[in-house]
């Protein structure tokens, strides 16, 4: 990190006179005292515990200074009214100082995958950094910025939201030159109340953009009221500015063409929605003058963040399609469509394990039961349900599927049948089978996948 203590103090408007301390070179900033290394600046945040309680530990681990909201004895410190706001201000300044181009990505589905795809394309031509893991909120985004390598030219930042205004804050901080909205779905509907409010929140990604910025957004009419007047806008979808053609899907790959690239694109992942994500990433690459052969090559070797439409193998040889990082009705329908169209293994069955989708609000049960239209005994041999809000869907499915082909396991405050779920799957699964896992991360289906791989 190319920052000094005095420079940081000036940027954040320190409330104390830091000239009494040496103008130290700051190697990095950490808010976890256990991760502190020599030369770091400590950032005490207030959460379940007050980070100020760990200032002594941070210095013992090698910190040379700390932010603080109160006076610190015996150590160099930068006094501020709010450590988080100071952190965000510093990240905003650092992006400008390092003259890094920002590509921002948000959406109810596909934002992490699209971020990964964009970064994979950009790294062929530029020094590129991207959001690591799920560091996409008011703490994670500035953390990402302040941890990018010194030589970074392009940074791809994922932006998440739990409440209205979250994306606006992140956009103002990052000032993106290119902004991408992948899809408006039902994620976090519990906090927003409607898709319209979700759309409003996602479209605030444009709030920090300059007039020369480019917005890439879906053709969904729900966002029309929130489109900016002062940016170039590229809409994607059938007969729009950019669109897919000649899409072919197999068990573990996709091939497609676009209306703006000459040749075909091949992806080593499945799911038609991933073709859309790759098309968006390809267009970003074209905007940034990356050669078409470089775009195609990067996507053909793509490696996605784990548990997102990922094929794995059970120890008995069965094929596992793991998509358990998160879930909402749109994502559930899309993965069921993909799984249903994939050819079965010879002599094998298709089994779907579906768990609760969280944060859907007061209509959660209804939104679960509406998924019955995506379930058919013509496409699936067996369906296994796990959760509480999904119980009514399980009941409907039991009336549609043959006897013995639908299983339901509870997860309530009083009873959790997780162990029974695992034993049921282990008993059912045969080497020739294909099994899909889909549910919200908190339902712990990833643990079932791990157990099948290790069993």
Take residue 60 and report the two structure tokens written for it.
């013992």
Number of residues in the chain:
455
Is the distance from CB of 12 to CB of 26 less than 8 angstroms? no
Between strands 25-26 and 3-4, the pairing is: antiparallel
Residue 455 has pLDDT above 70, yes or no: no
CB-CB contact of 26 with 36 (8 Å) = no
CATH number of 310-454: 3.90.190.20
CB 3 within 8 A of CB 120: no
Give the domain ranges of the chain.
3-82, 100-300, 310-454
* pLDDT given at position 210: 84
pTM, rounded to two decimals = 0.87
Annotated binding residues, written as ranges, equal: 107-113
Mean pLDDT confidence for 120-124? 98
Q: Is the pLDDT of residue 221 over 70?
A: yes
Annotated binding site for ATP: 107-113
- The confidence score (pLDDT) of residue 266 equals 96
Q: Kindly report the average pLDDT of the chain as a whole number.
A: 94
CATH topology assigned to domain 3-82? 3.40.1390
Model confidence pLDDT, tens digit, residues 344-355 = 999 999 999 999
User: How confident is the model over 20-47, as a mean pLDDT?
Assistant: 96
Band (359; pLDDT cuts 50, 70, 90):
confident
- Please identify, in words, the CATH class of the domain defined by 100-300: alpha beta
3-state DSSP assignment of residue 218: strand
Average pLDDT of span 377-385: 97
Amino acid 307: pLDDT: 61
Of 297 and 362, more confident: 297
């Amino acid at each position: 990190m190319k920052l000094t203590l005095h420079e940081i103090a000036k940027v954040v408007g320190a409330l104390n006179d830091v000239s009494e301390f040496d103008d130290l070179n700051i190697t990095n900033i950490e808010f976890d005292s256990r991760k502190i290394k020599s030369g770091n600046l400590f950032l005490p945040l207030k959460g379940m515990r007050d980070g100020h309680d760990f200032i002594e530990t941070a210095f013992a681990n090698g910190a040379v200074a700390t932010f603080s909201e109160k006076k610190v004895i015996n150590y160099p410190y930068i006094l501020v009214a709010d450590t988080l706001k100071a952190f965000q201000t510093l990240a905003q300044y650092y992006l400008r100082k390092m003259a890094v181009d920002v590509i921002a990505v948000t959406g109810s589905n596909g934002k992490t995958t699209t971020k990964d795809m964009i970064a994979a394309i950009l790294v062929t031509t530029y020094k590129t950094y991207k959001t690591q893991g799920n560091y996409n909120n008011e703490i994670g985004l500035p953390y990402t910025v302040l941890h990018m390598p010194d030589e970074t030219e392009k940074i791809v930042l994922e932006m998440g939201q739990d409440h209205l205004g979250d994306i606006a804050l992140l956009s103002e901080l990052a000032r993106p030159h290119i902004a991408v909205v992948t899809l408006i779905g039902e994620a976090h509907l519990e906090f927003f109340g409607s898709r319209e409010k979700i759309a409003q929140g996602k479209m605030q990604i444009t709030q920090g953009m300059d007039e020369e910025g480019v917005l890439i957004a879906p053709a969904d009419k729900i966002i029309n009221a929130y489109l900016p007047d002062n940016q170039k806008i590229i809409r994607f979808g059938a007969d729009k500015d950019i669109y897919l053609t000649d899409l072919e899907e197999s068990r573990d790959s996709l091939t497609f063409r676009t209306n703006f690239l000459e040749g075909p694109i091949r992806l080593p992942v499945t799911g038609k929605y991933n073709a859309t994500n790759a098309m968006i990433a390809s267009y970003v690459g074209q905007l940034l003058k990356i050669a078409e052969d470089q775009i195609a090559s990067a996507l053909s070797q793509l490696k996605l963040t784990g548990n997102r439409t990922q094929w794995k193998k059970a120890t008995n040889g069965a094929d596992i399609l793991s998509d358990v990082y998160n879930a909402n009705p749109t994502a559930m329908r899309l993965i069921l469509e993909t799984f249903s169209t994939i050819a079965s293994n010879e002599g094998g069955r298709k089994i779907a394990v579906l768990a609760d989708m969280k944060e859907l609000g007061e209509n959660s049960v209804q939104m679960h039961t509406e998924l019955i239209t995506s379930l058919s005994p013509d496409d699936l041999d067996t369906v296994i349900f796990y959760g509480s809000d999904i119980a009514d869907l399980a009941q409907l499915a039991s009336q549609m599927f043959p006897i013995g082909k639908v299983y339901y396991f509870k997860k309530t405050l009083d009873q959790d049948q997780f162990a029974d779920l695992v034993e049921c799957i282990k008993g059912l699964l045969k080497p020739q089978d294909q099994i899909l896992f889909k549910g919200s991360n908190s339902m712990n289906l990833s643990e079932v996948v791990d157990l099948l791989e290790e069993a």
